[in-house]
Chain A
């Protein structure tokens, strides 16, 4: 099992550019979560998908952020346009209701720097 895969691991971009973060959950997992981690705010849940459907996006900071899950094995988090305050580590996590409910498996994260 390769675990949750995220790409890129590091992203440096200029303010105003579009940024796309990618996630491949563990095969067979039906829930997917996007988190943001900063020193100031800790770990924040941005959005949660269940069976590819967005269930709760109340944590998405503003309209510049969007997330999609076109199939069970792929999700994207897009920021357009990016701003310096978006600099953070973004984690994707997945879980399976059949395995151990609520135990989430985290990817290695994408460290985003917006200059």
Chain B
């Protein structure tokens, strides 16, 4: 069975500082990996995905994520945090082509402090 772990329930960072939200996965074969963001009282919104190719993936709102196969990680990063980045972030994984199901992590609450 596949699984996704987000080891931190909450991450606090000062505005303007770099941020990292961690994610590790356990998926058979070559994984498809995703990050979604959820703002209060809203549905999840797609940020970025890794399917194949360059290990560094760039997404919406200045976010990027690095795929590390040896560490089975897909950490979300941003060079300079904004207060408006405060939200709940979900990592998700699938076992690849032909698989419809995304397994989501439990989410990490990011708070950017002014």
Q: How large is the interface on A (under 10, 10 to 19, 20 to 34, 35 or more residues)?
A: 20 to 34
Most chain B beta-carbon contacts within 10 A, residue among A55, A102, A103 = A102
Nearest Cβ on chain A to B102's Cβ, whole angstroms: 6
**Which B residues contact A (CB, under 8 angstroms)?**
32, 34, 36, 41-46, 49, 90, 94, 97, 99-102, 104-107
Decide if A50 is an interface residue (CB 8 Å cutoff). yes
Q: Known A-B contacts: A50-B100, A109-B43. Give 20 more (CB < 8 A).
A: A4-B43, A31-B100, A42-B105, A43-B44, A43-B104, A43-B106, A48-B100, A56-B100, A91-B43, A91-B44, A101-B97, A102-B34, A102-B94, A103-B49, A104-B44, A106-B43, A108-B41, A108-B42, A109-B41, A109-B42
A-B contact count (CB 8 A): 51
Question: B102 touching A104 by the CB < 8 A rule?
Answer: yes
- In the bound assembly, the distance between CA atoms of A104 and B45 in angstroms comes to 9
Most chain A beta-carbon contacts within 10 A, residue among B45, B46, B99, B100 = B100
